[in-house]
Structure 1
C-alpha cells in the first residue's frame, strides 16, 4: 500500500485527504501550521515539519509562491516530493528532493463534493523510476491519469482559467446584476447547466449562440443601456467583439 503525507490543508489538501482515506492508500500524516496536533483513523495531524515521518510520496498542496521555500525547509532529502499546482514548474520544488507533479485538474471548494473518477490527474517526475508510483497513485483516484510536461501543464492550466475562473466570474456579475434588478438568479441555473452539457456533444464553436454571434446590434445596444457600471459595459463590448470576430 502506498503511503503518503499531505502537506497543506486548504481546498486541494482537504479533498485529497477525504479521497485517499476512503481508498487503499495509507495517509500517514497531514501537515498545516494551523492544525492542532491530533489523530484520526490512523492519520496524524501535525503543525511542525520536524514531525514528518517517512512516506512514499509527500504531496505539497500549498500556494504556488510558497513551494520553493517550503520544500527547501523539509527536514529530509532525496524523497519523492510532488506539488499539486497547475502553473508551478517541476523545478520549483527543492533540488534536494526527487521532484514530481500530481495535479488534479478540477476546481475545489471544501464544501463541494467532486467525482474523482472523472478528474484528469496530470503527473510529471524528474526521475523516470518515480513515474510508475505516481501513475499508480493517480489510478487509485481517477480513470484519467496523464503524463504531461511542465510547459503543456501550464498551457492547460491557462485553458482551465478561461473555462472555469472567468466563466464563474461572469456568473457572479450576472448574479449581482439580477440581484440589483430584483430578479431571481436561480432562473438562470438550467441555462448554465445546459451550456455545459452541450459541450459533451459539440465543440464550443458549434455551441455558440446569442446576439453577438447573430450580429444583432439592436439587442446588444439595448443590453448596454441596462448596464449601469462602465466596467461592465466594457466587458460586454469586449466579449461581444471577441464572439463576432469568430463568426
Structure 2
C-alpha cells in the first residue's frame, strides 16, 4: 500500500487526487491546504488539514502548489523520510535538495477543475535525486499513465516553454477568434472543426509541413484586407507579429 500526502488544493492537486483514489493499493492519507473551502472537496475520501505544521507521515509527498509557494511549502517537510516531489514544469528539482529523497512528478497537460481528464493519456515526466526515489516515482507513474518519460530539469524547462506556446498562446488566439465571431453575430461553433483538424494535423505531421494561410502563400493582398478589419490594437500587434514570422519562415518579409 502506497501512502500519499498531497500538498495543495488547485487544479493539479484535484486531478491527481481523483486519479489516485481510484486505486485500491494507493491511499491519499491527507490533503493539506490553507483554504478550508477548497479543502472541503477532498474531505470525503481523505483527511484534510489547513496547517502545514501537522503533515502526516507518508511514503510520498506530492507538492502541487503555485511556483512561488513551492520553496516555502517544501520547508514544512523537513525531516520527512518519504519521497518529496513537486509537479511544476519550470522549477528545477534542486529546489527540494534539502530533503534526502526528492524528485519531480510533472504531468504535462492542461487541467481545469470539474473537467475530467483520462490520466492514462497524460504524459508524466519524472526525475529523482537517487535510485530509491526514482524507483518509487517511476512505479507510480507507470500505474497512472501509459506515457512516462525520464526528463531532466533543464529539459523540463524547455518542455514547459514549448507547452506555453502550444497550449496557452494558442488558447488565447482561440479567444481572439471567438471575440471576432461574437462581434459579428457569428457562431464560434463554425470554427470548431477547423480547430480539431489543425490539432489533428499537428499530431500526425511536422507542423512546418502543413502550414497554410495567406502568410504561407505570400498573399499580401489578403493580409492587407485582414489588417484593415482589425480594430483592436493588441490583436493587430499579434496578427502582424505572427504573419511576419510566417512570411520570414517561408522566405518572405512584409
Q: How many Å apart are 1:183 and its aligned residue? A: 1.4
Cα RMSD for the two superposed structures: 1.5
CA contact (8 A) 1:68 1:94 kept: no
Q: Which residue of 1 aligns with 2:96?
A: 93
Distance 1:46 1:94, change over 3 A: farther
The one of 16, 34, 44 equivalent to 1:40 is 44
Distance 2:203 2:165 in 1: 17
Distance 1:129 1:94 in 2: 15
The one of 152, 155, 158 equivalent to 2:158 is 155
Q: Which residue of 1 aligns with 2:27?
A: 26
Secondary structure in 1 matching 2:5: strand
Q: Which residue of 2 aligns with 1:202?
A: 205
Q: How many Å apart are 1:39 and its aligned residue? A: 4.1
**1:57 maps onto 2:63 in alignment:** no
Q: Which residue of 1 aligns with 2:10?
A: 10
Q: How many Å apart are 1:243 and its aligned residue? A: 1.0
Q: Which residue of 2 aligns with 1:230?
A: 233
Per-residue CA deviations over 1:129-162 (Å, capped at 9, x if unaligned) read 2101000110111011111110000001100001
Structure 2 spans left out of the alignment, 5+ residues? none
Q: How many Å apart are 1:76 and its aligned residue? A: 3.4
CA contact (8 A) 2:12 2:64 kept: yes
Q: How many Å apart are 1:97 and its aligned residue? A: 4.6
Distance 1:92 1:75, change over 3 A: closer
Within-5 A mapping of 1:78-117: 78-93=81-96, 95-117=98-120
TM-score (normalised: structure 1): 0.95
Distance 1:78 1:3, change over 3 A: closer
Q: Which residue of 1 aligns with 2:142?
A: 139
Secondary structure in 2 matching 1:109: coil
Distance 1:209 1:202 in 2: 13
Q: How many Å apart are 1:128 and its aligned residue? A: 2.0
Distance 1:97 1:211 in 2: 56
TM-score (normalised: structure 2): 0.92
Structure 1 spans left out of the alignment, 5+ residues? none
CA contact (8 A) 1:124 1:147 kept: yes
Distance 1:76 1:10 in 2: 25
How many correspondences in the alignment? 246
Distance 1:75 1:95 in 2: 8
CA contact (8 A) 1:49 1:75 kept: no
CA contact (8 A) 2:57 2:80 kept: no
CA contact (8 A) 1:72 1:94 kept: no
